[in-house]
């Protein structure tokens, strides 16, 4: 075969290869995404299915103590759309919490037992604050809640529904956690970020 014929054959093979790759990869773009725990034992998967924070390995110290409190995610399923960003100082820019897309849901539950410290509107957005004791306080916004300050709630109990307003994008809720008055990363108590898993499309 001539060199020109070889070149044409090579181009055809390359085109077939490109078509094959596209046929395999394009369907993956349409697969639904769910939340699942980090790689680990089956118990971790069961924990995520039940809404409990997935187990992670945390070095000994204050962070390990926080991770061992058994907090639950406030909604399942969800997608983390904006992480915690610690400010350089008390008045510096940052993101003092995490934003969760509830993936079409609206119900929110207490991540741990506590007492309602505040329930109402702040600057035009609904806010719910729960005092969990030991200096830990969580705040949800924007939300709507029928609970009143002083009411006790259990971990996992539905406490509010998603509303509109505030800095969070539509369909997302902002969760902030303070320890002794200072904002901390909520993931320290929730066991880390669940990984996204692609499900079969057919």
Q: Model confidence over 37-68: pLDDT tens digits? A: 333 333 433 444 444 443 333 444 567 788 78
Nearest by Cα to 138 from 109, 166, 165: 109
Give the residue numbers spanning the domain of 39.
Answer: 35-193
189 CA to centre of own chain = 12
Q: Is residue 27 part of a domain?
A: no
C-alpha torsion 197→76→32→103, nearest 10? -140
Q: Is residue 17 part of a domain?
A: no
Q: Is residue 183 part of a domain?
A: yes
Residue 40 phi, psi (nearest 5): 175, -160
pTM of the model: 0.65
Q: Is residue 166 part of a domain?
A: yes
- Range ranked top by mean pLDDT from 8-12, 35-39, 66-70, 157-161: 157-161
At residue 159, the pLDDT reads 98
Nearest by Cα to 99 from 198, 167, 179: 167
How far apart are the C-alpha atoms of 164 and 142, rounded to whole Å?
Answer: 6
How far apart are the C-alpha atoms of 183 and 147, rounded to whole Å?
Answer: 24
Q: Is residue 14 part of a domain?
A: no
**Total of domains in the chain:** 1
Residue 177 belongs to domain with CATH number: 2.70.70.10
Q: Is residue 167 part of a domain?
A: yes
Q: Is residue 181 part of a domain?
A: yes
Average pLDDT over the chain, rounded to an integer: 74
Window from 36-45, 87-96, 159-168, 191-200 with minimum mean pLDDT: 36-45
Reply yes or no on whether the pLDDT at 71 is more than 90. yes
Segment 187-198 mean pLDDT: 69
Tell me the C-alpha to C-alpha distance, in Å, between residue 24 and each of 1, 30, 200. Answer: 32, 12, 13
Q: Is residue 77 part of a domain?
A: yes
Q: Are 153 and 130 in contact (CB under 8 A)?
A: yes
At residue 89, the pLDDT reads 73
Q: Are 114 and 152 in contact (CB under 8 A)?
A: yes
């Amino acid at each position: 075969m001539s060199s020109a014929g070889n070149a044409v054959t090579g181009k055809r093979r390359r085109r077939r290869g490109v078509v094959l790759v596209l046929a395999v990869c394009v369907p993956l773009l349409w697969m639904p995404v769910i939340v699942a725990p980090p790689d680990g034992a089956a118990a971790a998967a069961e924990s995520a299915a039940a809404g409990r924070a997935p187990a992670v390995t945390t070095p000994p110290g204050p962070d390990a103590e926080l991770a061992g409190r058994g907090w639950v995610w406030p909604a399942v399923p969800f997608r983390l759309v904006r992480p915690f960003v610690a400010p350089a100082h008390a008045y510096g820019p940052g993101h003092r919490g995490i934003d969760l897309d509830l993936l079409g849901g609206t119900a929110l539950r207490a991540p741990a037992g506590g007492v309602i410290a505040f329930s109402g509107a702040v600057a035009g957005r609904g806010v719910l604050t729960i005092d969990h004791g030991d200096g830990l306080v969580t705040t949800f916004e924007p939300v709507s809640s029928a609970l009143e300050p002083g009411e006790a709630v259990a971990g996992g109990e539905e406490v509010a529904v998603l509303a509109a307003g505030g800095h969070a994008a539509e369909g997302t809720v902002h969760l902030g956690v303070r320890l002794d008055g200072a904002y901390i990363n909520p993931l320290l108590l929730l066991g880390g970020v669940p990984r996204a898993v692609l499900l079969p499309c057919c």
